[in-house]
Structure 1
Amino acid sequence: MSRVFCKSLIPLLAFSSSSSSYYSAQFRFRHSRRPNVSPMATEASSSSSSPSPSSAIDFLTLCHRLKTTKRAGWVRRGVNDPESIADHMYRMGVMALISADLPGVDRDKCIKMAIVHDIAEAIVGDITPADGISKDEKSRRERAALEDMCKLLGGGSRAKEISDLWMEYEENSTLEAKVVKDFDKVEMILQALEYENEQGKDLDEFFQSTAGKFQTEVGKAWASEVASRRKKSN
């Protein structure tokens, strides 16, 4: 494992002591299974346009955690076989792919943003309001994790693109960010509806948490469609 990656994880590991017991257990479990990162991970020049093969595989190995980490909200509600973080991001990417062209919105950028918006959770885990962690602290942890991941990738334009997309989403600073944030909420309530129908769960809290918070017409329209289907299924 590269020295940069090891050192960067030390302060992140310390965060778990102030989190809820669930979050702490999840965090310690993930870091007890760290990927075997090559010492070459940070050797790529910061001016290169693409990562070295070693850096790329180290980065992808870390991203594997997104496939195996279950979304915490569903776990807490006792959902059977809940989706992973990667499952959630994938369908958001598909949402961006199939959505209608919107004035002033770069659809390709939305697709990219959807597949990186939760990428820092490969290190910090899926932090939810139930963990008792403030939004500022959550953002700080995720920014630190993202910086570590970009270093692991070797810097360069690809790492910068990931960082810029993540920051744009985090700050809700563009039309694309607003669209993708709406897709984040739509994907969640659609998944909640599917779990309600498949497992007989009452997941109304997830619908209530998004009510009135959609920022775009496409988000409002898709959320309305999900709500309509939920009424018909009840």
Structure 2
Amino acid sequence: MEALNPENVLKFMNLVNNLKHSSRRGWSLINVENHEHIAGHMYAMGMMTFLLGDDSNLDRFKCLQLALVHDLAECIVGDITPQDNIPEDKKHAMEDEAMKEIASNLGEDIGKMIYNLYKEYEAKETPEAIFVKDLDRLDMLFTATHYEKRDNTPRKMQEFFDATEGKFKHPFIQKLVKALLEYRNKPHQLEGSVPNGIIKQ
């Protein structure tokens, strides 16, 4: 593997660290206080890749890698939402250029790997990319449910549930969504309580 330029690695780290302080704007647009940052969303998705059993046909490590790079471009372009009225093709072009800039700091080997992972996720054609997109949507619904419970604002986040209905592909994620919806419809529970059955495969 080629030697990396320390100055370029620091540039990469500086870009990535932006995500620890960058708001998930979808929540701010509906006035959710104390909401998550982009890095927190990516962390949650990464943790969920461990839910894959050893008997899964999916490559767990590949899923983890995809989860960690899927929103990486947002450290440069920010979290673009539909309310920004940016055409989808322009949004993808902006993110693609951002990923090329990010990858350019990491040399031919690592940079190309990260860029290719990003392109794999964007294409949504491999089983791993499809699964990670399921995780992306699941984390959004889980977080929406958390805010509804925390802030005692039942059904406030219904638009997110409507937007993802029928879009989940993986059977286990479908079970998780079903359990989450049942939990969402129950009376408020103490913070930190776990919906019954939500961690069982």
TM over 0.5: yes
More deviation in 180-189 or 197-206? Answer: 197-206
Equivalent position of 1:7 in the other structure: none
Distance in 2 of aligned mates of 1:168 and 1:179: 12
Q: How far is the alpha carbon of 1:226 from its aligned partner?
A: 1.0
Contact 1:182 1:215 in 2 (8 A): yes
Q: State the superposition RMSD in angstroms.
A: 1.5
- Cα gap change, 1:102 to 1:179, in 2 (>3 Å): farther
Paired residue for 2:149, among 177, 197, 213? 197
Equivalent position of 1:208 in the other structure: 162
Residue 145 of structure 1 pairs with residue 106 of structure 2: no
Q: How far is the alpha carbon of 1:104 from its aligned partner?
A: 2.9
Q: How far is the alpha carbon of 1:205 from its aligned partner?
A: 0.8
Paired residue for 1:167, among 87, 110, 119? 119
Paired residue for 1:156, among 99, 108, 112? 108
Distance in 2 of aligned mates of 1:215 and 1:83: 25
Query: Normalising by the residue count of structure 2, what TM-score does the alignment of the two structures yield?
Result: 0.88
More deviation in 116-125 or 220-229? Answer: 220-229
Q: Which has the higher helix share?
A: 1
Equivalent position of 1:222 in the other structure: 176
- Cα gap change, 1:178 to 1:102, in 2 (>3 Å): farther
Equivalent position of 1:184 in the other structure: 136
User: Which structure ranks higher in relative contact order (CA pairs < 8 Å, sequence separation ≥ 6)?
Assistant: 1
Query: Normalising by the residue count of structure 1, what TM-score does the alignment of the two structures yield?
Result: 0.76
More deviation in 191-200 or 212-221? Answer: 212-221
Contact 2:20 2:39 in 1 (8 A): yes
Distance in 1 of aligned mates of 2:178 and 2:102: 37
Equivalent position of 1:34 in the other structure: none
Distance in 1 of aligned mates of 2:52 and 2:58: 11
Gaps of 5+ in 2: 189-201
Return structure 1 stretches of 4+ with deviation > 4 angstroms.
none
Distance in 2 of aligned mates of 1:211 and 1:131: 23
- Give the AA of the match of 2:85: G
Distance in 2 of aligned mates of 1:143 and 1:102: 34
Gaps of 5+ in 1: 1-46
- 1:146 is paired with a residue whose SS is helix
Contact 2:105 2:111 in 1 (8 A): no
- Give the AA of the match of 2:126: T
Equivalenced residues, count: 186
Alignment of 1:79-94 (within 5 A): 79-94=32-47
Q: How far is the alpha carbon of 1:98 from its aligned partner?
A: 2.6
